[in-house]
Amino acid sequence: MMEKELIPNLFRTEYQKIVSVLSNLFGIHHIEIAEDIVSDTFLAAAETWAIKGIPDNPTAWLYTVAKNKTKNYFKRNDVFEKKIVTEIKYNTPLNNPETEIDLSEQNIADSQLAMIFTVCNPCNSNEAQIALALNLLCGFGINEISDAFLSNKEIIYKRINRAKEKLKEENIKIQHPNSAEINDRIETVLKTIYLLYSEGYYSTSQNTTLRKDLCAEAMRLTYLLIQNESTNLPATNALMALMCFHSSRFEARTSENGEIILYQDQDELLWNHELIDKGTYFLSKSSTGNTLSKYHLEAGIAYWHTQKKDSPEKWQHILELYNNLIILEYSPIVALNRTFALSKVNGKKEAIIEAEKLNLTDNHFYYSLLGNLYTDVDNKKAHQHFETALGLAKTTAEKNIISKNILQLSFF
């Protein structure tokens, strides 16, 4: 691999690992020091490798340089030694040149777990947690995060800095969570990762590569939780199953020119059956215990969507899962999606009655659904609903789908 490709790839895979270890060492109040050291390490790699060539083991080179830069920082920064050293958790004398910065695989995994629980702290808003997770846990830069949120760089920069300051104000410790902390906060952690995945899977951004990266990072973080015995919980496995099932249809969801392909029009040959099998495996693992989470139900719905055959049995299963999901955790979007399954089981007329009760007049998905439900029942109303949806839709891809529906109605 060429140096131009290698460094960005290593940055994506190794940056967050080293930052997690050094942040765990320095503590939340000095997390910027960790980020600066790791950034300097990658800058040194870019400069050195361009002149001397790529080393035999690039990852080991990065780890060695990061360790040395950390030790040098300890030795040369008198203020750090006098004022900060007593605050950090590292219990080896920092002015000792033999001090070992532990970048072993186990300590990296432990540090990343500690960072996940630190970043996913409810003292920050959902948006702030996701932005901070993308930055600290996934190694995304400000530009990439602003693209993901369809926001400008200044807003994202301020959001991340405010989130860091909030963690400092609350004096949040970067430490391996105990059993009580896991029980108290695993729901928040899973929710943040779920929202991170959704930001990629349902993103309105046209940057397909970035969307896939967001989903891949959410899956990586979930797998980190699964690998740790204390966080390898049924809900964690259910979330992984959900993401596997959704990701299995990623390639079939958009055309070559970026247009959205609706489920019923997707090419099953483009589905990733290896991911479907993995999703089935994790869904099976999630079936232990007595706790039923929304991830179990959503994973079940996603599983049935990987079964292409459009049978009454399939939609009956999906409808029952939606019924349970509404009881467990109601949301208007869940209720909206349920009405589509209802139309498949009990017919469009009953689904129309249920859908119109929702009255989601500011949501283009609501009017698109009504347009689909009224098609062949009352095409004039269907056309009106599609026109309303077109006016509310925000992205070109969404507008294109609605316009196609309107064009199809004109032939009736």
Mean pLDDT lowest for which of 72-76, 181-185, 216-220? Answer: 72-76
Residues 6+ apart with CB under 8 A from 105: none
At residue 84, the pLDDT reads 56
Task: Determine the residue type at 315.
Answer: W
Q: What is the pTM of this model?
A: 0.84
Residue 391 CA to residue 388 CA, distance in Å, equals: 5
Whether 209 has a pLDDT exceeding 60, the answer reads no
Using alpha carbons, select from 344, 306, 307 the residue that is nearest to residue 322.
Answer: 344
Q: How confident is the model at residue 312 (pLDDT cuts 50, 70, 90)?
A: confident
pLDDT: which is higher, 69 or 1: 69
Average pLDDT value over all residues in the chain: 87
| Selection from 22-26, 310-314, 346-350 with the highest mean pLDDT | 346-350
Exposed/middle/buried for 209, CB within 10 Å: 0-12, 13-18, 19+? Answer: exposed
Percent of residues, the chain, with pLDDT higher than 90: 56
At residue 369, the pLDDT reads 95
Residue 383 CA to residue 366 CA, distance in Å, equals: 14
Whether 100 has a pLDDT exceeding 70, the answer reads no
Q: How confident is the model at residue 203 (pLDDT cuts 50, 70, 90)?
A: low
pLDDT, tens digit, 9 for 90 and up, residues 252-270? 888 777 677 878 888 888 9
At residue 175, the pLDDT reads 86
Q: What average pLDDT does range 74-100 have in this prediction?
A: 55
At residue 286, the pLDDT reads 97
Whether 78 has a pLDDT exceeding 80, the answer reads no
Residue with tokens 């693992």: 285
At residue 116, the pLDDT reads 92
At residue 29, the pLDDT reads 86
